Amino acid sequence: MQLSGQTDTIKLLQKSLSPGLSVISEKVLANQSLSPADGLLLFEKAELGFLGVLADVVRKRKNGDKAWFIRNFHVEPTNICVNRCSFCSFSHHFSPSKWELTVDEILAKVDEQEETVREIHITGAVHPKRDIIYYGELLKKIKARRPDLHVKAYSAVELDYMIKKAGMDFTTGLKYLKDCGLDSVPGGGAEIFDETIREKICGMKTSSSDWLGIHHAAHELGLPSNATMLYGHVETYAHRIDHLERLRHLQSLTLGFNAFIPLKFHRYNNEMKDIPEVSVNEDMKMYAVSRIYLDNFPHMKAYWPALGRKMAQVSLSFGVDDMDGTINDSTRIYSLAGAEEQSPGMTVSGMKQLIEEAGRIPLERDSYYRPVL
């Protein structure tokens, strides 16, 4: 029999599948959402190759053969943190050095970038002495220098702290920052929503409901955002599905999320260093199940400084359509945690080559996933 595409491949595979997995594959082909029990069955029983085929159906439905990337850079204003998360190698509690950039130092980093760089991603630790006025002024100064630069800034954890400190509610605080120049909110700080696991690995930080509440408020103000999950530590598959379910539910209300970004736990130099890192097969499983489950998320991003560029390339066959960006060696969060990319930066031609080698069409994007032509 000659195969005419993914549907035929799945129909062939169905003959050797358990009834549960076969029903799931029918749902995916019919563009129906999976139940939490379906998601769990995929994690527990599905072969990796089968997950790749199903994830590919969803990826292709949403993005064709395009794989997006952006010219961007990060600024991590400080690593001095009021929180003490067990998985974090970045904060001053564990990092070999302690830093806080001045506004001028941050602006100098903005000035260093070529004009073609279109997005700045600002995130860092939760500094006890800084407040919403400071962060708002920073946004205004960046916009005064580079009005065209999209500012994706402050994880929900930083926002939670500065907004509560100002005595504001989430909507008022975010509106203030939006008026100062905030364009979108990055996905950091989500970790794992399950309250028991969250208490174990990052009990001091923003609660899951506040993380979701901040993103909800941002979406209602027209600020798009991303979502992440820190996986591969002490959580179970059921915790991962619970996390995906909470995200899918919020997305069904707002459609404000752009991308989901699974973040693989790295163990170097943090309080969870005794936990072995998961295999690359487990990474690809995580990407594929997320792509299949989050059927209302337009994009799945492989954050290559965390995953490594080779596995990011492989992830394009497990649901990923977005390779994040060129980064320009501007982030330390993962290098401090022992990721293989110790100086993460990629040229545009390197990015395009990586994508083309995986059989996809590289497309430079802006922060709203509009092609840059």
Nearer to ligand V47, 184 or 317 (CB): 184
CA-CA distance, 243 to 108, in Å (whole number)? 38
What is the smallest separation between the CB atom of 30 and ligand V47, expressed in angstroms? 31
CA-CA distance, 174 to 190, in Å (whole number)? 18
Q: Which of 148, 144, 145, 142 is nearest to 117 (CA)?
A: 148
Interacting stretch for ligand V47, rule CB under 6 A, among 141-149, 163-171, 173-181, 184-192?
A: 184-192
Nearer to ligand V47, 20 or 298 (CB): 298
Q: According to CB under 6 A, which one of 39, 136, 181, 189 is a site residue for ligand V47?
A: 189
Q: Is the dihedral of CA 171, 194, 291, 288 positive or negative?
A: positive
Nearer to ligand V47, 52 or 224 (CB): 224
Q: Taking phi first (over 0 means left), then psi (-120 to 50 degrees means alpha), and beta for anything else, what does residue 26 get?
A: alpha
Query: Both ends of the chain: CA-CA distance in Å?
Result: 41
Q: Which of residues 248-267 bind ligand V47 (CB under 6 A)?
A: 261, 263, 265-266
Q: Is residue 34 part of the contact set for ligand V47 (CB under 6 A)?
A: no
Q: Is residue 28 part of the contact set for ligand V47 (CB under 6 A)?
A: no
Q: Which of residues 315-334 bind ligand V47 (CB under 6 A)?
A: 324, 333
Q: Which of residues 68-107 bind ligand V47 (CB under 6 A)?
A: 87-90
66-70 and 322-325 strand pairing: parallel
Per-residue b/e over 258-284, b at no fewer than 16 CB within 10 Å? bbbbbbbbbbeebbbbebebeeeeebb
The interface mask with ligand V47, positions 264-303, x = CB under 6 A, is -xx---x--------------------------------x
Q: Which residues bind ligand V47 (CB under 6 A)?
A: 87-90, 186-189, 191, 226, 228, 230, 261, 263, 265-266, 270, 303, 324, 333, 337
